Chains A and B, each alone.
Chain A
Amino acid sequence: MPGENIILLGVNHKNTPIEIREQIALSSGYEEPLAALKNISGLREYYLLSTCNRVELLLVADPLANIEEKVIHFLFGDRIPLDEAHRYLYLLYGQEAVHHLFMVAASLDSMVVGEAQILGQLKEAYRHAARFGCTGPLLNKLLHKSFSLAKRVRTETAIGSSAVSISYAAVQLAKKIFGNLKDKKVLLIGAGEMAELAAEHLVGQGVDEVIVVNRTLARAVDLAKRFRGKAVSSGELVTQLKHVDIIISSTNATDIILHKDEVKSVMRARMNRPLFFIDIAVPRDLDPRLIEIDNVYLYDIDDLSNVVEINKSERDKEAVKAGRIVDEETLKFQRWHQGVAVTPTIQALKKKMDEIAQGELDKTLSKMPQITDIDRKTLARMAEAMVAKILHDPLIYLKSESCAGRDNSDLKVTLVRELFGLTNEENGQKSD
């Protein structure tokens, strides 16, 4: 049993329908949830990743602390009962957790395999966690490892080159619907990074105009300037629908901002020209029932994955290669982790001491053939007691709790290992 548990817990686009994900998505930013997690005792280190496709927590917990339920409750709140939550959730430990993190970082777990956005999101999440002092030596090491792994995958495989991002998928669909995008107008609702990316892609395809709607007009004006488009206030949303063809929505709104009836009412004025809605917001911005209107096409972020599936096979080969790199790095990390883990160190230390004591005891006893069995046992007990007493303080030192969740156990482990001359090799053979 390791000295601490690495636990990865989360929901993503594969396991969890968007209806559930949008109840979890942390739209208020990282600060609040990170602060809330601090209250869970037994958590040594943690970090939180929240993107449109996943919410994941990577935790380092005390081995005996049963924190899973508390964290699940934190994630799902009271809205979803615990046993139901378990169906949507993945809960991984130790090596599997590390493997999953690496898969995510390498963009192998992404909806669009090979897309580069995830690394940036990972780094941002880490920055937040580090600033709040939530990460410790283990997570620092683990996350930095995942960054370098992502880089390695990118350079050693061609997975990024044929990667299609969500925005690319959106362009593909738009072309399937409109054919030529040259005289089409795009409406951006809200100003997320993803939406901007998609708009950029569409501009690259030669769309006629980009119109930006935002709650704060100043932000809309800024963004519109970038695309040489125009900004309008959010009150004009429905009127704008008469002129535009492609709508990309990514607001932070918690409710639906565009309802079926509103869209239906403009279709007549549009002479039924098709409307293509892309909803990349989680929680969703657009009424899912829009799809029921003739000549209206609505895709939310999950649907876009299907489009991406079409180009998947080319990437599969590269994904296998990348998967191998992930496996390799997982193993390497595992070795390193075992090297710094507290429990194996304690075991190694005890073993070494016991061996020394036993060795010296045997040597001494062989020179004293005349003593009785009772004396032998007394001597052995003495040796044992000496070992135990010598080890007492180092073990206390190793096992000691660090304050405020900040954990410097790997420093301690390294120190003890050097002090007592414990090499990683002899430890590597032991498994937890």
Chain B
Amino acid sequence: MEELTYLLFQVVLGTTFLATAAYLVYFVSQSKEIRKIARIIMVASGVLQTLYVVLRFALAGHTPITSQHEAVFFFAWATTWAYLSFRWRHTVKNFGTFVSAFIFCLLVISSFSEKNIDPLLPALQSAWLPLHGGISLIAYGFLSLAFCGGLMYLLLERELKNKKFGYFFPRFPSLDSLDQLNNHCLTAGFIFLTIGIVTGSIWAKQAWGTYWQWDPKETWSLITWFIYLVQLHQRFTVGWRGKRAAVMAVIGFAAVVFTFWGVTYLLGGVHSYAR
């Protein structure tokens, strides 16, 4: 069975690579047919990723987010489905190119780490694991979409302000749609992040006897959470939008990345399971 998961992982990697390549070709050629192909491959990749997660769940008997490989893969899976769910409601021109490349990068990172299925640590044997871990990673999925959209916004905004129109200009969506994307994904991401932190806190009470113990991961999640809180608060009160919102999405995502990897590898702490 483990060979099967290996094989499936390679297939996922290959499919996502194809999707990214197709999106890139679409980005250059702007041919509608290629876009259609790219979308189909992307959905296929999403389905295959789901299969892989389910398969590992069946083999391990718990939600597959406990090793570095699993957690990063789950991150990619969450981003993919966050994108597909978003894509289903809004169209943002050429967003897929950026997102598919991002997802592919995550999958490549996950491919480098140990893929073994290890028995679950006693501390993690809880119903809170899928809730806390899964939901936090789904939050990361949405926040990474906001990051991709923020990058696109900053690129386009620069061209519009400097009035120098380069290669990207005709290929980019409108600033408004990128700002809406930012709004939508940050809001969704923030809600999931909040739930992730709250469930984590409840779990901590049960497992460690205290809601909050200033473990580095907890601290950094809180910092991340505050960054997004400030952005959302400012948007609703004084209308932080556009460039500022995009910059905040990028800064917030940097905090996410640090919480996800930096804390585990640099700061350690009780939270460092998924190595």
Contact = CB atoms under 8 A, between A and B. Distances in A.
Nearest to A296: B161
Contacts of B156: 176
Contacts of A126: none
15 contacts: A173-B160, A176-B169, A176-B172, A176-B175, A177-B160, A180-B176, A271-B239, A271-B241, A272-B239, A291-B161, A294-B243, A303-B163, A306-B164, A307-B165, A310-B165
B174 A175 contact: yes
Interface in B217-257: 238-244
Interface of A: 173, 175-180, 268, 270-274, 291, 294-295, 297, 299, 303, 306-307, 309-310
A306 B163 contact: yes
Contacts of A307: 165
B176 A295 contact: no
A307 B238 CA distance: 32
A294 B244 contact: yes
A271 B161 CA distance: 20
Contacts of A294: 242-244
B238 A268 contact: yes
B253 to A, nearest CB: 20
A309 B176 CA distance: 23
B177 interface: yes
B240 A272 contact: yes
Q: Tell me which of B160, B173, B238 has the highest count of chain A C-beta atoms within 10 A of its own C-beta.
A: B160
Nearest to A173: B160
Contacts, number: 57
Contact of A310 (B161, B170, B173, B177): B170
A176 B161 CA distance: 12
A299 B243 CA distance: 18
Interface string B143-183: 00000000000001000110111000110111111000000
Given A268-B238, A291-B161, A310-B165, A274 B175 contact: yes
Given A176-B169, A295-B243, A309-B165, 13 more contacts: A176-B172, A177-B160, A180-B176, A268-B238, A271-B239, A271-B241, A272-B241, A273-B239, A274-B176, A294-B244, A297-B160, A299-B163, A310-B165
State which size class the interface on B falls in: 20 to 34
Contacts of A179: 173-177
Interface of B: 156, 160-161, 163-165, 169-170, 172-177, 238-244
Contacts of B242: 272, 274, 294-295
Given A310-B165, A310-B169, A177 B238 contact: no
Nearest to A174: B174
B5 to A, nearest CB: 43
A123 to B, nearest CB: 32
Contacts of B163: 299, 303, 306
B176 A177 contact: yes
Contacts of A297: 160-161
B29 to A, nearest CB: 16
Given A176-B160, A291-B161, A294-B243, A272 B238 contact: yes
Contacts of A306: 163-165
B174 A177 contact: yes
Contacts of A177: 160, 174-176
Nearest to B169: A310
A270 B163 CA distance: 24
Contacts of A180: 176
A177 B179 CA distance: 10
Contacts of B173: 179
Nearest to B179: A274
A178 B176 contact: yes
Nearest to A177: B175
Contacts of A274: 175-176, 242
A317 B239 CA distance: 47
A177 B239 CA distance: 17
A68 B78 CA distance: 73
Contacts of B240: 272
Nearest to A304: B163
A178 B243 contact: no
Contact of A271 (B176, B177, B238): B238
Contacts of B170: 310
A271 B244 CA distance: 13
Nearest to B239: A271
A175 B177 CA distance: 10
Most A CB within 10 A of own CB, among B161, B169, B176, B241: B176
Contacts of B241: 271-273, 295
A176 B238 contact: no
A310 B163 CA distance: 12
Contact of B174 (A178, A291, A299): A178
Given A306-B164, A310-B165, A270 B174 contact: no
Most B C-beta atoms less than 10 A away, residue of A176, A294, A310: A176
Contacts of B176: 177-180, 274
8 closest Cβ contacts across the A-B interface?
A271-B239, A179-B174, A179-B176, A272-B239, A295-B242, A303-B163, A179-B177, A178-B176
Nearest to B180: A179
A274 B179 CA distance: 11
Contacts of B239: 268, 270-273
